[in-house]
Amino acid sequence: MSDESEKVVPKQELHTFVVRAMEAVGLQSDRGSVLADLLVSADYRGHYSHGLNRLDMYLNEIKSGTASKENKEPDIVKESAGTALVEGNNLIGPYVARFCMDLAIQKAKTAGIGFVSCRGSNHFGIAGWYSLRAMEQGFLGMAFCNTSPMMVPPRGTTRTLGTNPLSLAAPANNGDSFVLDMATTAVALGKAELKDRKGEPLPSGWTVDKSGHETHDFKNLHGLMPLGGKEESSGYKGYGLAMMVETFCGILSGGAFGPFVRQWKAFERPANLVSLLLFGQCFIAIDPSQFEEGFTDRMQTLIDACRDQPSADKDPVLVPGDPERNHMELCDKLGGIPYHENQITFANEIAATYKLAPMKTL
């Protein structure tokens, strides 16, 4: 263990705990298992905000009826050789999203590319999990999701778009890869929360207050700035990218979009308005063998050119996916995922609430 206040949980132990917890609110274990795969992957990759930390949110989605525990499948509403429109039927996000990515992969096998847009889904966790699923089968994978409105456009005052993440995973040689998984806001809300907890001011280009002007004070935070920050540093580009993600998700699919997506952690279900509580998502798989031979060699050469240059200071130059790679190596050494003791307490509280055997630590 790297820290006194940390405890290590084997991945399998976390997995079975998630399945048990979701069973306690009535979700079938095969579906809970998909969610568990996702949450384990998030924490293993070091995206702690999107792993175990979110378990209560997925429990609440089911308990509130925002997500359905019915034994239904997502429906393919419309399809062509390279595209599909999917209705998620309000099922849990990872179940819908995995279905969509598998459909995109299937289409890419014959049409070279598959592009699937879905509506009626719920929180799908880290976008990278779906891109990686395509990559593990030799494809380029992409995933997109609209999210609760948090971004205020440059010059504006209203939370109009979400953090709208996008992801691309592309294979290189010997298990190496390029894995981009990013929000289109400058930072996610969690980063601002972390600064606040440390008593530090919010950095330039992160957040705005109700008047639409930059704030460095967490208590005045009204919205997030897009990637690029203020207008002078091209915040309108991050804003455009968030609109691009929304175009692929809510606009193409006919689900909720932009300011009409549910507020963060809103589980109330207004009668007949449940569709406004759901998310739109998009998945792309591309078959590199339909292009010039030797894709992974060229990808590796580019990755190496990035990593192998002299660094400005002492920190090595990384490519997207390297921080996650480093974290997974740490976990493998430790024999599991290291958690702050507060997160273990949080899991134990869930165990007590639902009368489950608690998660064992090493």
**Binding residues among 240-259 for a second copy as defined by CB under 8 A:** 240-241, 243-244, 246-247, 250-254, 257-259
**With CB under 8 A, what is the number of residues at the site for a second copy?**
91
What's the rounded Cα separation, in Å, for the pair 139 and 286?
6
Instruction: Tell me which residues in 183-202 interact with a second copy (CB under 8 A).
Output: 183, 186-187
Instruction: Tell me the two tokens of residue 82.
Output: 């390279």
Q: List C-alpha distances in Å: 260 to 128, 148, 359.
A: 25, 8, 38
State the minimum distance, in angstroms, from the CB of residue 270 to a second copy.
19
Whose Cβ is closer to a second copy: residue 23's or residue 79's? 79
Least distance CB 297 / a second copy (angstroms): 10
Helices 11-24 and 55-63: angle between axes, nearest 10 degrees: 20
CB of 241 to a second copy, least distance (A): 7
Q: Which is nearer to a second copy, 24 or 202 (CB)?
A: 202
Specify the stretch interacting with a second copy by CB under 8 A; choose among 8-16, 120-128, 182-190, 348-356: 182-190
Give the residue with the Cβ less far from a second copy, 124 or 295: 295
Tell the smallest beta-carbon distance from residue 139 to a second copy (Å).
Answer: 12
What is the nearest approach in angstroms of a second copy to the Cβ of residue 84? Answer: 8
- Judged by CB under 8 A, the residue of 8, 57, 111, 356 near a second copy is 111
Q: Is the dihedral of CA 210, 215, 218, 223 positive or negative?
A: positive
Rounded (10°) CA dihedral 335, 51, 38, 79: -160
* Residue in 65, 121, 136 with CA at minimum distance from that of residue 256: 121
* Min dist. Cβ of residue 326 to a second copy (A): 14
Do the beta carbons of residue 209 and residue 220 sit within 8 Å?
A: yes
Nearest CA-CA partner of 281 in 62, 124, 110, 171? 124
- Segment near a second copy (CB under 8 A), from 24-32, 66-74, 312-320, 337-345? 312-320
Q: Does 49 bind a second copy (CB under 8 A)?
A: no
Residue that has been written with the tokens 């063998």 in this structure = 289
Q: Which of residues 200-239 bind a second copy (CB under 8 A)?
A: 203-206, 208, 211-213, 227-229, 232-234, 236-239
Local structure of 322: helix, strand or coil? helix
